Amino acid sequence: MDVLQSLENYIHIDISRVFNNVLLYQTQPVDGLTGEHTITHKYTNWYLEVLLRHVSQGHIIYSPLQKAFVSLSSEEKLPFSAEEFSDVKELRALAELLGPYGMRYMGEQLMYRVALYVNELKQVVISNKETLMQLRTSFDKPDVMVELAKKLENPENVLQRLTIIGVLLSFRHMLQNVLHDTMVDHAPFLISSIKDFSDNVPAGSDSIYVTEMAGSAGFECSVDPLLVAAIRNQKPEGGEDQYTLSCLLMVFVAVIIPRRASTGNSAFEPSLQGHANNTHCMARAINQLAQALFLVHSRDNDVEERLKEFLALASSSLLRLGQENEKEAIRTRESVYLLLYIIVQESNVLSMDLLESCFPYVLIRNAYSAVMNSTAATSHHR
């Protein structure tokens, strides 16, 4: 770079302008001059098609504690170390390189994939609609709930896709954090103005535009504007009532969460603050999808009521695990109890008092104790 700048001493050229123009083109997916893919497109493609694909295959876990993706598999199965490409320093360097435009493009691609998975989930909901309608009105009838839950088709499919959505949204959260840090370093006065504006804008139809502006600067928003736009742009198939399908999707997830207790890799890892199969990422998926889906259907005032309904159904379903006699069905019961706690902890609508009214907190406390003891015992045997 110094060599190029020294050219200004010999020829009449503004090297700084050349740098700015070239780098600006590289923040778009396609170079406006050559028509070739830019570094923004290449980095986006690698993170989405390589790193996140290995996460969905169970080789990598998202760690909220380390704020990075952590490799679980050996080097033979995984050709790279996830930590080297996803820790805070690396992602900050990525934000410096791509800038706000490039990070927005990466966010849009993430949300496009989330919207595709949401459509797939709705198709599963349609095939189970009658059963889910009965489940929604039978939460106070345990025996009926058990029988109806057994009739649900493709529950594992729903859990798997919801987990992938959670992983994508967690990565989006990581990108937003590093983008905000970068913007604060480079444009502190602009960031403070955006914060004041977003904090004081009156609620109304125009607030979504302010939210979008704040999101573009890396601020954490209650509803992700890119997620809302991606879901809105997906044209629903058939003439189904989309609001009802969204409600039934929440019911579906609440009823099938206990199935994760039968999976050995659902064990909670205290050192990473997450489940080995990324079940903890479902918490972010549930909260953010509820906010976005009901906003898209112009029923955002229903978010609190629908999440309370979800909490009641999920609590009832998980409490029945305590009466389960088959050991295979409760292999990681305590770890799945912690998922309910994480859902409430990450929600801006649900509260711990509300959780206590549905699910005894002593079970959460005992679950943490059991998980810690299990981890200590495993470490001792090693």
- Say yes or no: 251 and 120 in one domain: yes
d(CA 65, CA 179): 19
The parent domain of residue 17 ranges over 2-37
**pLDDT recorded at residue 337:** 95
Q: What is the pLDDT of residues 147-174, one digit of tens each?
A: 998 999 999 999 999 999 999 999 999 9
Report the pLDDT averaged over residues 87-111.
94
Does residue 49 form part of some domain? no
- Say yes or no: 12 and 110 in one domain: no
Amino acid identity at 186: H
- Say yes or no: 255 and 114 in one domain: yes
Confidence of residue 377 (pLDDT cuts 50, 70, 90): low
Looking at the chain, the whole-number percentage of residues with pLDDT higher than 90 is 61
- Say yes or no: 259 and 193 in one domain: yes
- Say yes or no: 31 and 91 in one domain: no
**pLDDT recorded at residue 75:** 62
Does residue 323 form part of some domain? yes
d(CA 138, CA 192): 50
**pLDDT recorded at residue 57:** 86
Query: What sign has the CA pseudo-torsion 51, 54, 55, 60?
Result: negative
**pLDDT recorded at residue 72:** 86
Q: What is the pLDDT of residues 188-220, one digit of tens each?
A: 999 999 999 888 877 665 677 888 889 999 998
Contact 207, 201 (CB under 8 A): yes
Give the residue from 287, 290, 289, 302 showing the smallest Cα distance to 342.
287
- Say yes or no: 11 and 157 in one domain: no
Q: What is the pLDDT of residues 137-151, one digit of tens each?
A: 887 788 888 899 899
Contact 111, 296 (CB under 8 A): no
Does residue 197 form part of some domain? yes
- Say yes or no: 23 and 172 in one domain: no
**pLDDT recorded at residue 380:** 46
Does residue 48 form part of some domain? no
Does residue 79 form part of some domain? no
Q: What is the pLDDT of residues 105-137, one digit of tens each?
A: 999 999 999 999 999 999 999 999 999 999 988
- Say yes or no: 211 and 308 in one domain: yes
Compute the mean pLDDT over every residue in the chain, rounded to the nearest whole number.
88
Contact 117, 164 (CB under 8 A): yes
Q: What is the pLDDT of residues 303-336, one digit of tens each?
A: 999 999 999 999 999 998 888 778 887 889 999 9
Displacement of CA 222 from its chain's centroid (Å): 13
- Say yes or no: 31 and 96 in one domain: no
- Say yes or no: 217 and 346 in one domain: yes
Confidence of residue 31 (pLDDT cuts 50, 70, 90): confident
How many domains does the chain contain in total?
2
pTM: 0.91
Does residue 354 form part of some domain? yes
Does residue 68 form part of some domain? no
Among the ranges given (46-50, 74-78, 309-313), the one the predictor scored with the smallest mean pLDDT: 74-78
- Say yes or no: 288 and 139 in one domain: yes
d(CA 155, CA 246): 16
- Say yes or no: 111 and 198 in one domain: yes
Report the pLDDT averaged over residues 264-293.
94
Does residue 99 form part of some domain? yes
